[in-house]
Structure 1
Amino acid sequence: MKAIVQDVYGPAGVLRLEEIDPPRIGDDEVLVRVRAAGVDPGVWVLMTGRPPLVRLMGYGLRRPRQRVRGRDVAGTVEAVGSRVTRFRPGDEVYGTCDRGSYAEYAAAPERLLARKPAGLSFEEAAAVPVSGTTALQAVRDAGQVRPGHRVMVIGAGGGIGTYAVQIAKAFGARVVAVCGPGKADLARSLGADDVIDYTREEVDRDGPCHDVIIDVAGCRPISLLRCALTPRGTLVLAGGGHDAPGLLGGYGRALLHRPLAQLTTKQRLRGLMAEESAEELGELGGLIESGAVRPVIGSAHPLADAPAAIEHLAQGHATGKIVITV
């Protein structure tokens, strides 16, 4: 099969299209004929091996443990393992995989897959799992958003942010979207009640009035973000800063600032490491089928152009989700 592989850490140039053997599946895995795959910041992290913390987490110290890139996947079931009970060949599925989705076939654990919502194309379905789950857990769990809350989403025009705006609205919040001028209309079309153009105004424009701030972009000092929070508000760090220097990279914002924040203020600071599952996909699927949430695809690229797609994402100005078609 054709696949995007790498043998060393580095920029997008280390990726190449190569013919390799299809993956063998275990008893609890599903072999998916890939139709589309999503691009998310985690792909860039595993490609570059930055920050170094990622290598220490078991992804390979000197070189990537898994050669094939990509995690989001949508396609049709080709074969199932002996202990798989929810799927059979021919089923249309979407979810995440551990061994790479930028390929003609991918092996995914049954627990990370769900049936594709009937109203979604494969490209739209591939745009949901990682970014949608991150947004859902940021709004529902870390932010504990309730009806009437005033919620700010920073990075509202990107892959995670477009979902966070819609999910917060579905939970009954008043949403303020922070994005560039070219994405303001998109944010409003997704339900944002107000938009802050970060090239003209800062996030503390309205003072400490936000019950929850979900920061996807990771570009602003925590001290500034706290100025936009109510005295008992919650700051959720849900992404961004993946190319920050140091051992911890962008993860250091939550790990290093949280203890101090908890000692000096009643505001809550929560870092988020999202965990995908079939159950989370089920909740997202329900929101999609109800019309409350829709995937936003900024661009689609053929498999051979996956390196360029990842590079475009890394530049930080992508609209919605980028997908790879196979």
Structure 2
Amino acid sequence: MKAYTKTTYGGPQVLKLDEVARPVTKEGHISVKVHANSANPADWHILRGKPFFARLSYGLFKPKNRVPGADFSGIVEEVGANVGQFKVGDRVFGGTLSEGAFAELKNVPAGMCAMMPENGAFPEMAAVAMAGATALQALITHGKLEKGESVLINGSSGGVGHLAVQIAKAYGGYVTAVCSSKKVDFVRSLGADQVIAYDRKNIHKHAGQYDLIIDTHGNLSFDDYQRMGRRGVMVGFTSMKQMMSLIWRKAFSRFSIAQFTAEPNTADLTTLASLVESGKIKVHIEKIFSYREIPLAISHIERMKTSGKVAMVWDNPSAKTRQ
């Protein structure tokens, strides 16, 4: 089968489209014929082996996993032993940081997948897996957002951010979103109650007060969280120095800032599918690439200027359409 492989750390140019052996369907796993993928910041961080400490998980001197990729959607081709919730022919989506998704066939734990909604397209559902799980877990699992609470979402136009705005509104939050002035109209269209353009107003001097701060961009300091919020969740970070400073300050304070690495699970993915089906969230896909352009898609998101998500489709006419 076709798959992208990597044998060394580096930029998208280290990816090669190869023929690899089909994975064996393990117990508790399903094998999915991949129709679409999506690219995430985690993909290029892992690809480059940065930050360096991440190599403790992904391979110190060279990548442990040959095939990259986290997000996917497709059709179940084979079901392993002790899997009761899926059958051959089911339309599913999911994601995992153990990689392996940039391939024609993905073998994945059943607990990291969910059924696609009837109105969900393959690119759309591939794009919602990691980003949607991250947004949902940031807001609900770790942020404990309750109906009527105010939430500031920093980095509201990107993959995680644009879904976080919509999920927060779906759960009854009052949303103030932070983005560039070029993307204000886009973020307003997502349902944000207020929008702050960071290139017109210094967010590091903003005096607003919020129940919850969600930072998907990763440039807020500990003082920013403490000044503006009652509690916070850090999803990303812009530099090791910034992250370590925040963690150090947090260790000596009672102020609550959660930090986590999202891992999709069936329950959260099912919630996301329901939100898509009901129209409460819409995945904005800025551009769709062919699977032959996966390195180009990763280069595209590495510029960190994307509105919403990008998706990549395999050679299947139904991959681009709802069915």
Among residues 232, 235, 238, which one is paired with 1:235 in the alignment? Answer: 232
Runs (4 or more) in structure 1 with deviation over 6 Å come to none
Contact 1:255 1:271 in 2 (8 A): no
Partner Cα distance (1:29, 1:100) in 2: 14
Among residues 263, 269, 273, which one is paired with 1:275 in the alignment? Answer: 263
Contact 1:34 1:75 in 2 (8 A): yes
Given residue 315 of structure 1, which amino acid in structure 2 is its aligned partner? R
Q: Residues 172-187 of structure 1: matches in 2 within 5 Å? A: 172-187=172-187
Number of aligned residue pairs: give it.
Answer: 313
Among residues 240, 247, 250, which one is paired with 1:258 in the alignment? Answer: 250
Contact 1:66 1:100 in 2 (8 A): yes
Partner Cα distance (1:35, 1:170) in 2: 29
Structure 1 residue 260, shift from structure 2 partner: 2.7
Among residues 306, 309, 314, which one is paired with 1:321 in the alignment? Answer: 309
Given residue 234 of structure 2, which amino acid in structure 1 is its aligned partner? L
1:66 to 1:123, Cα distance in 2 relative to 1, 3 A = same
Structure 1 residue 94, shift from structure 2 partner: 0.4
The TM-score, its normalising length taken from structure 1, stands at: 0.91
Partner Cα distance (1:6, 1:253) in 2: 33
Aligned to 1:61: 60
Contact 1:150 1:210 in 2 (8 A): yes
Given residue 121 of structure 2, which amino acid in structure 1 is its aligned partner? S
Structure 1 residue 213, shift from structure 2 partner: 1.0
Partner Cα distance (1:291, 1:147) in 2: 19
Contact 1:70 1:101 in 2 (8 A): yes
Identity of aligned residues (%): 35
Aligned to 1:82: 81
Structure 1 residue 158, shift from structure 2 partner: 0.4
Q: Tell me the alpha carbon deviations over residues 99-157 of structure 1, each in whole angstroms, 9 at most, x when there is no partner.
A: 41111111111111111111110000001111101100111122111122111111100
Most deviating of 21-30 and 198-207: 198-207
Contact 2:166 2:280 in 1 (8 A): yes
Q: Secondary structure at the match of 1:106?
A: strand
Q: Tell me the alpha carbon deviations over residues 29-69 of structure 1, each in whole angstroms, 9 at most, x when there is no partner.
A: 1111100011111111210111122111x321111111111
Partner Cα distance (2:246, 2:4) in 1: 32
Partner Cα distance (2:19, 2:58) in 1: 23
Q: Residues 99-178 of structure 1: matches in 2 within 5 Å? A: 99-178=99-178
Partner Cα distance (1:35, 1:240) in 2: 31
Aligned to 1:70: 69
Contact 1:99 1:107 in 2 (8 A): no
Given residue 199 of structure 1, which amino acid in structure 2 is its aligned partner? D
Q: Secondary structure at the match of 2:226?
A: helix
Cα-Cα RMSD: 1.7
Partner Cα distance (2:131, 2:237) in 1: 12
Partner Cα distance (1:82, 1:182) in 2: 51
Q: Secondary structure at the match of 2:252?
A: helix
Partner Cα distance (1:36, 1:189) in 2: 26
1:245 to 1:239, Cα distance in 2 relative to 1, 3 A = closer
Aligned to 2:321: none
Q: Tell me the alpha carbon deviations over residues 11-45 of structure 1, each in whole angstroms, 9 at most, x when there is no partner.
A: 11111211212222212111111000111111112
Partner Cα distance (2:153, 2:290) in 1: 31
